[in-house]
Amino acid sequence: MRDEHMAEEQKEKKGFFSRLVSGLSKTRANIVSGMDSIFNGFSHINEDFYEELEEVLIMGDLGVQATYDILDDLRAKVKERHIKEPADCRQILIDSIKEQMNVGETAYEFEEKQSVVMVIGVNGVGKTTTIGKLAGKLRSDGKKVILAAADTFRAAAGEQLKEWADRAQAELIGGQEGSDPAAVVYDAVAAAKARHADVLLCDTAGRLHNKKNLMEELRKMNRIIDREYPEAFRETLAVLDATTGQNALQQAKEFNEVADITGIILTKMDGTAKGGIAVAIQAELGIPVKYIGVGETIDDLQKFDADAFVRALFDQPKEEE
């Protein structure tokens, strides 16, 4: 029995890793091929070598901050260890990228607590889909999950979430289109308390009449949760679309001004060459990327694992298949 279980787990892990490997293929082509051609193209380490590396990292969407941090670290280690061969820099660079992305041990505490998770982000980034995936994941861990359809602005947003709720077998609390989203949150909190739910996931609108409106609405919902459900563990996840590259960074900054973002979910990592943005976000904002979306189905949400991410990016995928 136990062996079977372990074999199952191994298989799952493999599937998980190969999905990550294939999801990151364009990012890999973008960053790693560029890096490797530098490692192979230079016979010794000089200023040009560092400059070209810098260019590859910036073009790979790692962001200015992370790029400088990584290169400073590399320069220091090259000096300290008297490294002469460009190829010997590869592993140092990989380790340094990994270091930039450490999530910390408490990142997934909310999954084990009675919690409220606010999911915020501009329209179309993948909030509703991500909530569906997250609900599926929590349900399969045996958690009692309630979804709040607090996007009452966009037509059919409620129905879209309902489909995900059915798929994940989670309960949904919604409201009429055009009704007050804060009222939906109020009702959902009442339901979560009455039914002793483990996790309440709140879907929010990506767009209202204007941005000020949207930010005000988020504040209002937060106040209601604070007041009505103070005992709940709070998590606020900003969803960012990886394909938008540096724009995603700007969005996170704006949302962080109204809500205390505790984590980032980076969606659409499959099929983008801009996966390096995962590194930039952590370096520039100091907010951990907690999950990544690698496709459109319920299984396509993964906990962000810096180690697996870097391995999927830099190791030859052949040996893992």
**Residue 67, contacted partner among ligand GTP, Mg ion, none, CB below 5-8 A by kind:** none
Is there a contact between 35 and 251 (Cβ–Cβ < 8 Å)? no
Q: What is the footprint of ligand GTP within residues 57-86 (CB under 6 A)?
A: none
- C-alpha distances out from residue 246 to 82, 223, 252, 276, 278, Å: 35, 31, 10, 10, 10
CA 34, 263, 222, 174 dihedral sign is positive
Is there a contact between 197 and 191 (Cβ–Cβ < 8 Å)? yes
**Residue 263, contacted partner among ligand GTP, Mg ion, none, CB below 5-8 A by kind:** none
Distance CA 180, CA 205 (A): 11
Whichever of 77 and 167 has its CB closer to ligand GTP, that residue is 167
- Give CA 12 to chain center in angstroms: 20
Residue 295 touches ligand GTP, criterion: CB under 6 A: yes
Residue 128 touches Mg ion, criterion: CB under 5 A: yes
DSSP bridge partners of 266: 240, 292
Is 204 annotated as belonging to a binding site?
A: yes
Whichever of 208 and 285 has its CB closer to ligand GTP, that residue is 208
Q: Contact letters (x/-) for ligand GTP, 111-150, by CB under 6 A?
A: ----------x-xxxxxxx---------------------
- Tokens 């073009």, residue located: 59
Residue 197 touches ligand GTP, criterion: CB under 6 A: no
φ, ψ dihedrals at 273, nearest 5°: -95, 0
Residues tagged in the binding site annotation for GTP: 121-128, 203-207, 267-270
Binding residues for ligand GTP (CB under 6 A): 121, 123-129, 151, 154, 157, 206, 267-268, 270-271, 293-296, 300
